[in-house]
Structure 1
Amino acid sequence: MTSGLVSTAITQGGAHTLDIAFAYFLARAAIQTPRDLRLFLVMIAPGIALMSLFVVQEAVTHTRVLQRVASDISGSPYRLRDDVRLGLMRGTGPFPHPILAGIFLASFLPLYLASGLRGWPKILGIAASFGGFFSMSSAALLGLLMGGVLWCYDWASEKISNVTWRIFLFGTAILYAMVELTSNSGFYGLMIRYASLNTTSAYNRVLIWNYGTQNIAEHPWFGLGYADWDRPSWMHSGSFDHFWLIMALRFGIPVSILLIAATVAGVILLAVKSRTYRPQDARLLRGVAISLAVFALGAISVSLWLSVLVWFFVLLGIAVSLGVNLQREVPRMLIRRSAARPAPAPAKPHASERLPR
């Protein structure tokens, strides 16, 4: 509907099928129990730590090693600006942008905190997630802060009877409504303005929201595809730092709404299912819900692509898989245990109940 060429549509559609659909269904097929997820977290901990190490090294030494080596091997120049914030260069590691590196690493903090793992995998995973700080990205810092705070609240909800998630959600809803009603810029504008480390990028995101929504209103059903979006001539950069908005801009409002609905459904499924399982597994489910929710919130300040886009839909697939399949796991376990247990011998009747010969 938007590209005009079948070959272009097939190429772009095929790429998104691999990055989104294949990643989602692979996660759903491979990770169906808490044990599967724990094994997955153990196996990827060294790789996450290595990525984090490169991000920290770049931020501290102000020298890019990994990207430069890859550029020398491939012959393609890397297009990264050496931005410095608070005395640290924005670490990128193997990612195409510091923001992507930051939100990717930050998403693992709730997972490893709530994993129930012991020893080096848990320590390595938590330490690696803090490497997101060295991307010097406001989205990553907010993700680390929110992930840690929500995990602490979940821990408190297990220890204190009056601390519940219903109270937290109710208070959050009231705060959101008050900000929307009393603020001129709304909740999104207020968060971008005060949670950003760079005032220029914060202002640019507000402009992206204003002019992006105008473009979406003009092409609501199928979007613009990969055509350039209309904006003032003085906005030289075509960067569109809002994942949910760019999905509507490229492919139409229904696509963005359905993806948001799938994400919300994944979080709700995990929250509901966690009530019926033992504390250790329930804690892990809530950790996945926190990670997915924080990741989705962080996506309002960046456009997800390449490996980070794949990881988001892997995380979504894990959330839906655990939320749906866990309910079927317990009956099968009970059936296997009851089948393995010998049937009790019938009780002998009392003398008074014996029939006369």
Structure 2
Amino acid sequence: MTRGQVLEIGPAHFTVVRILVTVGILRVLLKGERIANGMNQVDRWLVLWAVFLIASSIFHTSDAWVFRIGLMWSEVGCYFLFRVFIQDAKDVEQIFKALCVALVPIAVLMLLEKATGKNFFSILGGVEEVATFRNGHFRASGPFSHPILAGVVGATCFPMALYLWKSHRKHAVLGLFSAGGIIFASTSSGPIMMLLFILFGLALWKVRDHLRSIRWLALTAIVALDAVMKDPVYFLMARIDISGGSTGYHRAQLIRSSIEHLDEWWLAGTDYTRHWMATGIFANANHTDITNHLLGIGVMGGLPSMFLFIMVLVAGFGKVGKTLRENESASMEQRLLIWTLGAILFGHVWNFWSISLFDQSVVFFYLILAGISAVQVAKPFAVNVEVKQSVGRMRQSRYVSRLG
């Protein structure tokens, strides 16, 4: 569904996602359901971030709190519903299979949109009927607010299909078609780069025992590049143009401008960024186009808000590492599922430097984060020990009864 389907009640705007969250919360309360494996560090950091973001409304316009409560209702609400509904690794695998099928019609309609220039989701409202046209190509967006956001969904689901290749080949084929078709139809460099980072993360599975050395090597390379480059190292994104017509320079310059105007937003954000860049944004005369998810959070709530969200990501990666360490005796397939979720999160983090998620595409980010929090593979070794102890007690009891 597009964002054009909205139920307005006073100052509140309930999109389809918010309505679903409301219904989901009612179900959870009525059935007395609980989140999987109890509260963890990801959950706690996310709650702190949400509370601070809403509290920082006092430094902004009078209606800022309405927007932020709605934002947290959608995002944090989705996350905690996923934490309730996704209980274990089996549920994560079922989600992978379901998405491989559910995205097929969206991929087909987006491919038709790219070929014809007509967005068939426009009859639902919220999206333009004519597809975006740039450098001789139509860029399909489907039900999403922008082609890049649509491509992010495809990039998120592509590795899900790869994971299913050995165990569920038919679902994997459908998933590769649908996710790949969405990325192709979006004609955007960002989703392609996101997918490449995810594939790189998956490739690190073979050298996972050397991950610490790889991280230090990457940090050293970044510092060295920053030392020899004329511009800051983040201007490397200005030179990337895979699909043609990429605006990497805008994204790099946005980071530079945010640093130059740090005094305006570091404490609790700002309501005016239009002077940061030479170009603005049609939807809001007070802001430039904040094509950076982390910076967008900073504009809303300052460096404290950005820090809290970064800690959510750090806790997510920490959860992946902890789960792998605690389940060294689990099957290779189970451990690979955990690693796949971490690789997708890795791709999202890199993608945050080039786009700010603001429509239903953000649901897919919280789906991955919740999946990481839910997966807790059972330890076969511990189970075997308990079984052996139980069998031993039974044998001892029989021996004693015979003696009696």
TM-score (norm 2): 0.73
Alpha-carbon separation, structure 1, partners of 2:257 and 2:186: 28
Q: Secondary structure at the match of 2:307?
A: helix
Alpha-carbon separation, structure 1, partners of 2:59 and 2:296: 15
After TM superposition, give the deviation of residue 326 of structure 1 in Å.
Answer: 4.1
After TM superposition, give the deviation of residue 220 of structure 1 in Å.
Answer: 1.4
Report sequence identity in percent. Answer: 18
Q: List aligned pairs for 1:233-244, cutoff 5 A.
A: 234-237=278-281, 238-244=288-294
Q: Does 2:203 align with 1:141?
A: no
Alpha-carbon separation, structure 2, partners of 1:78 and 1:223: 31
Unaligned runs of 5+ in 2: 1-57, 282-287
Contact 2:148 2:186 in 1 (8 A): yes
Q: Secondary structure at the match of 1:306?
A: coil
Q: Does 2:74 align with 1:19?
A: yes
After TM superposition, give the deviation of residue 217 of structure 1 in Å.
Answer: 2.8
Contact 2:254 2:277 in 1 (8 A): no
User: What is aligned with 1:278?
Assistant: 331
Q: Does 2:218 align with 1:165?
A: no
Q: List aligned pairs for 1:258-273, cutoff 5 A.
A: 258-273=308-323
After TM superposition, give the deviation of residue 223 of structure 1 in Å.
Answer: 0.6
User: What is aligned with 1:84?
Assistant: 134
Count matched residues.
332
User: What is aligned with 1:174?
Assistant: 220
User: What is aligned with 1:111?
Assistant: 160
Contact 1:102 1:140 in 2 (8 A): yes
After TM superposition, give the deviation of residue 331 of structure 1 in Å.
Answer: 8.6
Q: Secondary structure at the match of 1:128?
A: helix
User: What is aligned with 1:249?
Assistant: 299
User: Deviation string for 1:171-227 (max 9, x for gaps)?
Assistant: 322322221222122231112333465567222223322223334432212112xx2
Alpha-carbon separation, structure 1, partners of 2:236 and 2:340: 27
Q: Does 2:97 align with 1:39?
A: no
After TM superposition, give the deviation of residue 77 of structure 1 in Å.
Answer: 6.8
Alpha-carbon separation, structure 2, partners of 1:321 and 1:345: 38
Contact 2:155 2:191 in 1 (8 A): yes
Alpha-carbon separation, structure 2, partners of 1:121 and 1:200: 33
Q: Does 2:59 align with 1:2?
A: yes
TM-score (norm 1): 0.81
After TM superposition, give the deviation of residue 344 of structure 1 in Å.
Answer: 3.8
**AA at the equivalent of 1:186:** P
After TM superposition, give the deviation of residue 119 of structure 1 in Å.
Answer: 2.6
Q: Does 2:374 align with 1:321?
A: yes
Unaligned runs of 5+ in 1: none
User: What is aligned with 2:48?
Assistant: none
Alpha-carbon separation, structure 1, partners of 2:356 and 2:96: 25
Alpha-carbon separation, structure 2, partners of 1:278 and 1:287: 14
Contact 2:201 2:346 in 1 (8 A): no
**AA at the equivalent of 1:285:** I
**AA at the equivalent of 2:301:** F
Q: Does 2:359 align with 1:306?
A: yes
What is the Cα-based RMSD across aligned positions, in Å? 3.1
Q: List aligned pairs for 1:201-216, cutoff 5 A.
A: 201-216=247-262
Which among 70, 81, 87 is matched to residue 124 of structure 2? 70
The 1:25/1:335 distance shift into structure 2, 3 A limit, reads farther
User: What is aligned with 2:179?
Assistant: 129
User: Deviation string for 1:58-110 (max 9, x for gaps)?
Assistant: 2233332222x224xxxx6728662234x531111111100101111101222
Alpha-carbon separation, structure 2, partners of 1:194 and 1:287: 26
After TM superposition, give the deviation of residue 135 of structure 1 in Å.
Answer: 0.9
Alpha-carbon separation, structure 2, partners of 1:146 and 1:287: 12
User: What is aligned with 2:145?
Assistant: 96
